[in-house]
Amino acid sequence: MGKKALVTGASRGIGAEIARMLAEEGYDLYLVCRKSGDKIEKIKNDLMSQYKISCETFLYDVSDFTQVESLCEKVKEVDVLINNAAISYVGLLTDMSVCEWHQTIGTNLNSIFYLSKCLVPGMVQRKSGKIINISSVWGCVGASMEVAYSASKGGVNSFTKALAKELAPSNIQVNAIAFGVIDTEMNACFTDEEKAALTEEIPADRMGTVQEAARMVRQVLNAPSYFTGQVITMDGGWI
């Protein structure tokens, strides 16, 4: 029986590329997104055709525990959990509504708790599993105009370190990757001038690619079992 991996936020960007990488590695996939049904179905069909793996797709809002419970009743168990789903709010804290705050924290941080709560028991029972949380450098240093996003990713980093200690005796590795600026649709909110200003601050003099992000995930996925509780930064030398 093949190994199974679940990826959230899998319909685009880093998540879609991680799904492709896992298919290359021979994983059967559960791909989850909130509303991009057509996109995720195309990804599913492409991966099944090219890599001859099985793939199921689900439209669920992972910020909602009831929906996560429903998802996990269908999935039941996985060998690898990639918590990638995330949203961002760019603007002054004083302009942010309470609803927008809760949406950001719910998608970026609460979802990781919900999925871990549902799927970790099976990993513990099997004494095997890997959890990789997709984080951000803003969770390490904070970003002006992105307070909620920074707070959520800082929470992801601490969650990762703490859960890794809790699960290490069960041979389950928990790590996070704190990416810098990756060229994805999430950055569409920035103007060309703002993107250029961001790039000028990066020693590598460019944004990262989703392919590079997925390769980094592959390296963490295939790291020795002693490698756990780490928040790895990949940001072109920015921090």
At residue 94, what are phi and psi to the nearest 5 degrees? -70, -20
Residues contacting 152, CB < 8 A, separation 6+: 86, 104, 105, 107, 108, 109, 139
Q: How far apart are CA 115 and CA 110, in angstroms?
A: 9
Is 114 noted as a catalytic residue in this protein? no
**Considering just the CA atoms, what is the radius of gyration of the chain in Å?**
17
Q: What would the two tokens of residue 96 be? A: 């942010």
Residue 7 forms beta bridges with which residues? 31, 82
- Strand segments (E) across 108-163: 129-136
CB 136 within 8 A of CB 153: yes
DSSP label of 110: I
Among residues 27, 51, 149, 226, which one is catalytic? Answer: 149
Measured CA angle at 100 (ends 110, 177), to 5 deg? 45
As annotated, the active-site residues are 149
